[in-house]
Chain A
Amino acid sequence: MRNITVIAKREFKGYFTSPLAYIFIVIFVALTGAFAFYIGRFFTREQADLVSFFTYHPWIYLMLVPAISMRLWAEERKTGTIEILMTLPVATTEAVLGKYLAAWAFTGLALILTFPMWISVNILGQPDNGVILTSYLGSFFMAGAFLAMGSCISALTKNQVIAFIVAATVCFLFTVSSLALVLDFFRAWAPEILVHTIASMSFLTHFSTITKGVIELRDIIFFASLIAFWLFANIIVVDLKKAG
C-alpha cells in the first residue's frame, strides 16, 4: 500500500512538472463547457440540469484520456526508467496501480474543476443535485475505465503516438459498441449472443443510465470489472514487455 502511494504521488507530481497538466485541465474544462453550451444547448433547453453537460463526456474523454494514458508506460520504456522502477522493491501490481491511480486522480481533478457548471445551474434554477452527483461519479468511473484501457495499451509500446492512437481507437469501439456502426459488422456473421454481449459493452448505454440519476449495480459492476480486467492485463503486459 505504501509503495502504491509513493509511486502515485511521484506520478501525480510529474504531471505538474511540465505544462501538460495545465493544458489538459484548461482544454478539458473549456471543451466540456463549450459542448454543453453550443452543442448541448444548455440555455435554450431551459432545463435546470446538467444533462447537456454530461452527454458529451464520453466523446471528450475519447480524445483527452488517451493523451493522459499514453505516457504512463510508453515513456518509462522509452527512457529506460522502467528498469529503475521494476528493480526497486515494488511488485508489478503496485507499480501498475500506483501509476493508474495517479492518472485517475488527475482526471478526477480536471472533473472537479468543472464545478462552475454546477454553480451556474444552481443559480439559474433548482436542479436535482443528487442526479448531478451520480452523474459526476459515473463520469469519473467512465474516465477510469478509459484510463485502464489506455494504461494497458501504453505498456505495449515504446511509442507514445502509437499508444495514443490505439487507445483512442479501442476507447472509441467501447464507446459506440451499441451503435449500428459496430453492431452491423458483427450481425452479418456472429451469433446473436455475441452481438448482445458487444452491445452491452457500450459505455454510452451504461453512462446514460447513470446520468439519468439511476445508479444501477450492473453499471457500477460494468465499469469496475472493466477497470479490473484492463489493469490485470496491464500487469501481465508490463511483466512480459518491460525488458523488450
Chain B
Amino acid sequence: MVKMIVLKDLTKRFGPLLAVDNISMRVGTGEVLGFLGPNGAGKSTTMRMITGFVEPSAGTATVSGFNVATHPVEVKRRIGYLPEGAPTYGDMTAQSYLSFIAEIRGFDGAEKQRRIDAVAEKVELADVLRQPIDTLSKGYKRRVGLAQAILHDPEILIMDEPTDGLDPNQKHQVRGLIREMAREKAIIISTHILEEVEAVCSRAVIIAHGKLLADGTPEELIARSEDHNAVVLMIDAGMEDAVRKALGSLDTIKSIKKTKGRDGAVCLRIRPKKSALIASDVADIMGKKKIPVREMFIDRGTLDEVFRKITQEARTGATDRLGVGPKSPDREQNKEAKNA
C-alpha cells in the first residue's frame, strides 16, 4: 500500500491556542480515513495544513512524496479538496465555475467539457449546470463543491464534512460515490456523523483538543466499547436472582446490570471482561439451569459511546493514546515515531 499522505508531528498554534498538537499518521491509497472529533477539535485545521491552505507551526505534511511547505503547487495539483461548507463562487453558473476549475487544473477545449460532463453525471448535476450557483438548493451547492474536488480525478481526496446538510438520499449517494472512488485514491473525510464512519471509512481517527486520541478500523474502535460482546438477556422478572447466581461461576463476566423490562420481564446486560465472547457460556448455563430465556442477543457496542468515552477522557486529562489493534504496521510506526 503506497503511503500518499504522511503527517509527522504536525502542530498548529493560533496565538496561545494550540489547535493541532503533534499529530502523526499515514494514509495510503485504498484507504478512507474518517476524522472524528468534537467541534473545534482541530479536524479542519489539520486538513487545511495537508492541502497547503494553512502553514504548520511545526512538523511536516508530505503528500505523494512532496512536502507541502516546500512544494505547495505540486501537492495542490494532486489533491482534490472540499473545504468546510463547500464554498463556491455563487454568482457563476455551475458550468462556468467548473470550467474555471478545469482550466486551472490544466484542461482545455473538448477534454475540459468531457471532464465537466463526466463529473456532472457522477454527482447528478447535469440538470442545473446552466443555473447560477446562488439559485441552487443546498444539496446541489454541495454537489457543485464535490464536483470541483473530483474533476481532475485526484490521487488524494480531502473532504471536510462532505455530507453536511444533505438529505438522507443524497447522503447515501455521496457515500456510495466515496466508496466507489476509494479503490484508487487515498481519501480523508471529516464528519461528526458516526454512522457515516461505519458506512464508508476503512479507518477512523479520533481527535480532540488537537490531539490524536485513537486510530483504528471502525470495528477496532467499537471493540473498545464496554458493551462490546455484552450479552443481553430478557428473562422473567422472578428469575433474576437465579440468573445472577448461576452466572456467578463465570469469571469472564465483568458486571451484570438490570436495564429495563416489560410484560413482567427484565433485561440483564452482561458485560464481559476484555470483550471476551461469553454468549455460548451464558447460553450453556441458561440451558443447564433450565432458565427460560425470552430474548438473547449480543451487543456490538456503538461508536457513539466509544467516541464520547474517548473525547471525555481527554477533557478530564486521562488521555489514552492507544493505537488499537496490531494489524496496521503504520500505526506501529506511528507509535515509534512518538516514542522516539
Chain A nearest Cβ from B106, distance in angstroms: 8
Which A residues are CB-close (under 8 A) to B101? 88
Which A residues are CB-close (under 8 A) to B103? 6
Q: Give the contacts of A206-244 with B (CB-CB under 8 A).
A: 242-243
Chain B 46-79 per-residue mask, 1 if CB under 8 angstroms from chain A, else 0: 0010011110000000000000000001101101
Query: Inter-chain contact count A-B, CB under 8 Å?
Result: 64
> Which listed residue (A79, A81, A90) contacts B73, Cβ 8 A?
A90
Chain A 77-95 per-residue mask, 1 if CB under 8 angstroms from chain B, else 0: 0011101101111110000
Which A residues are CB-close (under 8 A) to B81? 84, 87
- Asked whether, in the complex, the Cβ of B105 is within 8 Å of the Cβ of A79, the reply is no
Most chain B beta-carbon contacts within 10 A, residue among A14, A79, A88: A88
Instruction: Say whether, besides A17-B92, A88-B105, A83 and B83 are in contact (CB < 8 Å).
Output: yes
Which B residues are CB-close (under 8 A) to A7? 104
State which size class the interface on A falls in: 20 to 34
A126 on the B face (CB < 8 A): no
Which A residues are CB-close (under 8 A) to B91? 14, 17-18
Which A residues are CB-close (under 8 A) to B88? 81, 84
Which A residues are CB-close (under 8 A) to B225? none
Which B residues are CB-close (under 8 A) to A84? 81, 83, 87-88, 148
Complex alpha-carbon distance, A79 and B81, angstroms = 16
State which size class the interface on B falls in: 20 to 34
> Which listed residue (B53, B79, B90) contacts A83, Cβ 8 A?
B53
- Asked whether, in the complex, the Cβ of B92 is within 8 Å of the Cβ of A14, the reply is yes
Q: Give the contacts of B219-245 with A (CB-CB under 8 A).
A: none
Which A residues are CB-close (under 8 A) to B77? 89
- Asked whether, in the complex, the Cβ of A243 is within 8 Å of the Cβ of B48, the reply is yes
- Asked whether, in the complex, the Cβ of B104 is within 8 Å of the Cβ of A81, the reply is no
Complex alpha-carbon distance, A81 and B132, angstroms = 16
Complex alpha-carbon distance, A83 and B331, angstroms = 31
B301 on the A face (CB < 8 A): no
Chain A nearest Cβ from B119, distance in angstroms: 15
Residue of A nearest to B99 (CB): A10
> Which listed residue (A3, A90, A243) contacts B54, Cβ 8 A?
A243
Chain A nearest Cβ from B2, distance in angstroms: 21
B22 on the A face (CB < 8 A): no
Complex alpha-carbon distance, A113 and B83, angstroms = 40
Q: Give the contacts of A39-92 with B (CB-CB under 8 A).
A: 79-81, 83-84, 86-91
Which A residues are CB-close (under 8 A) to B83? 80, 83-84, 87
> Which listed residue (B51, B74, B84, B96) contacts A87, Cβ 8 A?
B51
**Among all A-B residue pairs, the 10 with the closest Cβ atoms:** A80-B87, A83-B83, A89-B76, A89-B77, A17-B91, A6-B103, A87-B51, A10-B100, A243-B54, A81-B87
- Beyond A84-B88, A88-B105, 9 extra complex contacts between A and B, CB < 8 Å: A3-B104, A6-B100, A10-B89, A80-B83, A84-B81, A84-B83, A88-B104, A89-B104, A90-B104
Contact surface of A with B, Cβ cutoff 8 Å: 3, 6-7, 10, 13-14, 17-18, 79-81, 83-84, 86-91, 242-243
